[in-house]
Structure 1
């Protein structure tokens, strides 16, 4: 496999001369680079349901990314590593932070394993991090491999199984025809695991990890292609659920489609605002242990039409309920107003007022990912940067620091910071 060149982009930051740089690396024209980028944008928009291209190019060849992050293959020689705006590309641990968030969004649960980060700073490509995590998850429960029952037909003179009785009178040359159930390794679940391994092997940059994947491929044996619709893992194999979920993620999101000698991507990509929303909800659930935290709860705002029969609902991201009542609301936001000092966008203010009116509460906190360094704002800390008061309604904007979430007890630090910020708000605002 030829060496893959990596172009690092950070969300919402302009990277100058990118078109010319890629054209020189690949020894192709700038027009050819733009055609490849057009194809990549098309795939991403279809995958994530976006209406606008996430990667835009200015007239002088500068590139800008908005709304996505991850590992994207532009062609057979260049991959784009897109860093979310709330992670620092100069900090080598950003890939671990991103990977943890990606798995949370894609599978609905966190994979926090301290051993994943061992040596990861030197093996920093996302494919290798994913492969190491997958290998660790599989190794935990490899003594209980996924096996399924298969009815096997055979002929023998030693009876061991269900005999087809007509063959007792007219046996075949090899014996009596029988069928029996056998536990076999070839099944749709292992097919998904094996497909993930096959995808990862050529993508990882670390030789040791690649060798472990090849050993696992041999262990899984020959499998059929994975099914078009992934079957749920049987309850008896629930111990392998995390490994299976991660394998599905790889097969769905890391597959590189090789057509006509060019890669059409995308690779491992996610929507940044969606990732942030999922993280905020997960943190709130763990921080407010004495509340029932409901995501996307519908609140009745009013009715439409002369007769008022058509209801109008609003859906804040997070509604913490206690004794079936709500005392405050939380809403995950991604972008603040552009300027020297961050502030809450006017559209977010209007939307927040609708949330408060519908839920009949006075306090809502808007949660934005912090772009400050961990030196200025430690991991897990909430920093209020803006407050809007309309009558009794109070809308507050907070920056939340998550850089370092993949460090030892990093997620616990984020939950602890949320608990400190939120417990005080369980009482009426003063």
Structure 2
């Protein structure tokens, strides 16, 4: 089995000499590396709906990721771990923070277990974190297996089931043809779990985790191939929903065409700006349970002929039908001597405020500061623009440490402290 080498990138930062390094480790030419990167970018674009390449390369061989983070498989020897810009790739906990964010955004679940998190920090690879999370979730439900009745057919001389009567006089060499209704584990749900285990076995670095995945695959065997369209889990098996959702992400993202030897999935990845937007909306909704928090609410700003023209801020906070204030999730600031709100974001915010008849807009950015300077969940204002009676603020808040015990609660508490103020004068 090939040893998989890991290359770590941080979003929006160039990593020099990456092409030559990968070519050397993969024992292929640099031209072949560029071709494999092109193929990887096509898979990412197909999954995330991007028009531009997520990973670009300079003429000097430096690589730069933009808009994507997670685990991406380049070839049979190289995997790319891309840390989002707001997580420090040199921190022991960034993979846990990313994984919690990825699963929360994609499934709505919070999957991190403290024992998994501590164990994986020592091992230090994202695939092992995914695998051990899946194993822990399956173990929680091992006493309630996913089973259902299935009509089976076989040949036996002992009659136990419905007999094909035309075989009574002329039986098959192995017996009478029988069909029976059996309670079995063969179903598309277990097939998805088994496929996820098989896919993860060669991906993880830890031997104990590999053994546990092999045991899970044997326990569920035999299974058909996983479905191309994943059916919804029956309500009676709702306790398996988190396991099933995570297995779907693995099968869809880390798929490998064993016959062709090509990778069918881009990896365990997410769109960073879309994930940030979803996280902001979820945090604000939980922080303000007594107010209506509406995502992408349409506000009429004008008309084109007889047709209304709409604008859609990411988050509208309302009391009844009246808007209290608006929030918009942003990902990139204009970086000069200090961060500032880009002019295009100011113009867009003015349009939002005018359409909603609101006076305050908060632009939410992920903090890149060290957690020792800005603690988890803390909100701070880095720029403010006042135009007439309207105020636009650029706000950043810390999410490094999200996977720590109570980390998500601290994010919600920080948002509540910043937002639970009279609507005319939010202060951060």
Q: TM-score range by the shorter chain?
A: over 0.9
In structure 1, runs of 5+ residues without a counterpart are none
Q: Which residue of 2 aligns with 1:101?
A: 101
CA distance in 2, matches of 1:23, 1:154: 53
Q: Aligned-pair distance for 1:29?
A: 2.4
Q: 1:298·1:313 contact (CA, 8 Å) conserved in 2?
A: yes
Normalized against structure 2, the TM-score is what?
Answer: 0.93
Q: Which deviations, in whole Å up to 9, do the C-alpha atoms of 1:129-180 show, x marking residues without a partner?
A: 001001111111111110111134578899876788xx59x77769998755
Does structure 1 residue 412 correspond to structure 2 residue 409? yes
> Are 1:355 and 2:346 counterparts?
no
TM-score (normalised: structure 1): 0.92
Cα distance change, pair 274–429 in 1 and its aligned pair in 2 (3 A): closer
Residues 254, 264 of structure 2: 8 Å contact kept: no
SS in 2 for 1:331: strand
Q: Does 1:339 align with 2:336?
A: yes
Distance in 2 (CA, whole Å) between partners of 1:159 and 1:57 is 68
Structure 2 unaligned segments of length 5 or more: list them: none
What displacement does 1:26 show? 2.5
User: What per-residue deviation string (whole Å, max 9, x for no partner) do you get for residues 167-217 of structure 1?
Assistant: 59x777699987553221101111111111111111111111111111111
- Identify the residue that residue 211 of structure 1 maps to in structure 2: 211
Question: Partners in 2 of 1:258 and 1:72 — Cα distance?
Answer: 18
- Structure 2 residue aligned with 1:71: 71
Distance (whole Å) between structure 1 residues aligned to residue 334 and residue 422 of structure 2: 25
Q: SS where residue 408 of structure 2 aligns?
A: helix
2:317 is matched with: 320
Deviation per CA, 1:83-112: give whole Å up to 9, x if none: 100000110100000111111122133223
Q: Which structure 2 residues correspond to residues 66-145 of structure 1 after superposition, within 5 A? A: 66-145=66-145
Partner SS for 2:119: coil
Deviations 1:115-137 (A, max 9, x none): 22131112221111001001111
Q: Provide the aligned length of Structure 1 versus Structure 2.
A: 425
Asked whether the equivalents of residues 74 and 265 of structure 1 are also in contact (C-alpha less than 8 Å), the reply is: no
Listed as ranges, the matches of 1:388-403 within 5 Å are: 388-403=385-400
Cα displacement (A) at 1:266: 2.0
- Of 107-116 and 41-50, deviating more is 107-116
2:266 is the counterpart of 1:266: yes
1:328 aligned counterpart, secondary structure: strand
CA-atom RMSD, angstroms? Answer: 2.4
Displacement of 1:323 after TM fit? 2.0
Of 352, 368, 371, which residue of structure 2 is paired with 1:371?
Answer: 368
**SS class of match (2:375):** coil
The answer to whether the 8 A contact 1:370-1:399 is kept is yes
8 Å contact 1:254–1:268 — kept in the other structure?
yes
* Bigger mean CA offset, 115-124 vs 231-240: 115-124
Deviation at 1:301, TM superposition (A): 1.7
326-335 vs 352-361, which moves further: 352-361
In structure 2, what is the equivalent of residue 35 of structure 1?
A: 35
1: CA distance, partners of 2:145 / 2:115: 22
Alpha-carbon distance in structure 2 between the residues aligned to 1:427 and 1:133? 44
Contact kept in structure 2, 1:107 and 1:249, CA below 8 Å: no
1:299-314 to 2 correspondence within 5 Å? 299-305=299-305, 309-314=306-311
CA distance 1:186–1:263, change in 2 (3 Å): closer
Report if aligned partners of 1:73, 1:264 keep a CA contact under 8 Å in 2: no
